[in-house]
Amino acid sequence: MCGASSLWASQPFTVPDTMAQRAMACTACHGKEGRATNSGFFPRIAGKPQGYLYQQLLNFRDGRRYHSLMSPLLANLSDDYLQTIAAYFAAQDLPYPPPQVRVPSASVAGRAEALVRRGDASRNIPACVSCHGSALTGVQPGTPGLLGLPRDYVNAQLGAWRTGQRQALAPDCMHTIAQRLAVEDISALSEWLAAQPLPASTTAAPAGSVKPPLECGRAAP
């Protein structure tokens, strides 16, 4: 035993100073390499547009978005380091988990798909695809994809936008849109989106390929 202890003492363990090592503070909740799972309240962050990830890190740090673990974790980090974190996870091009197996009813699916593909002009609600891309995989540099996310997470975030618990830089377009959604719309959207299969390419559409129907505030890249 003494010999083993001496050997251990003579060969101290050194933690590698890499982004993968530092990112373990994130992957403890968001899953290995930021992949997450298809259930729960923690979203996938691997492969999301860098500008979007950076903006959300800023929002958590600066109080526009609150989470009991995220907000204190980021409180003292600089803009440059938040960019480094965002760049690291944006570069993780990894397979998505399968969609949730719960299949929405025909009425729920019809309601959700109408909002996703066409919006609702009578309530001035733009189609989801008009901002998030026709494949719903997001648009560079700052619009996230809507597929591959847990139903409960999507439901909670749309509810938070609607009530103002989640905010963004002005003009806060998602708050405006979410306020026009009925509770039944939010439930249908979250259930339908979580059940959709992922396209062959999950890469966000190129910058400039989508012209959003309204202006949204975001931080400079």
Question: Residue 175, annotated ligand binder?
Answer: no
Backbone conformation region of residue 47, classed left if phi is above 0, alpha if psi is from -120 to 50, else beta = left
CA atoms within 13 A on the CB side of 85: 24
Nearest residue to 112 via CA among 198, 196, 193: 193
Question: Residue 131, annotated ligand binder?
Answer: yes
Question: Residue 173, annotated ligand binder?
Answer: no
Nearest residue to 50 via CA among 96, 92, 97: 92
d(CA 149, CA 42): 9
Give the pair of three-digit tokens for residue 159.
């509810």
Q: How far is CA 129 from the centre of its chain?
A: 16
Give the pair of three-digit tokens for residue 175.
């708050």
What is the H or E stretch that residue 29 is in?
Answer: helix 24-30
Question: Residue 70, annotated ligand binder?
Answer: yes
Amino acid identity, position 75: A
Give the pair of three-digit tokens for residue 152.
């409960």
Binding-site residues sit at 26, 29-30, 70, 128, 131-132, 174
Binding-site residues for heme c sit at 26, 29-30, 70, 128, 131-132, 174
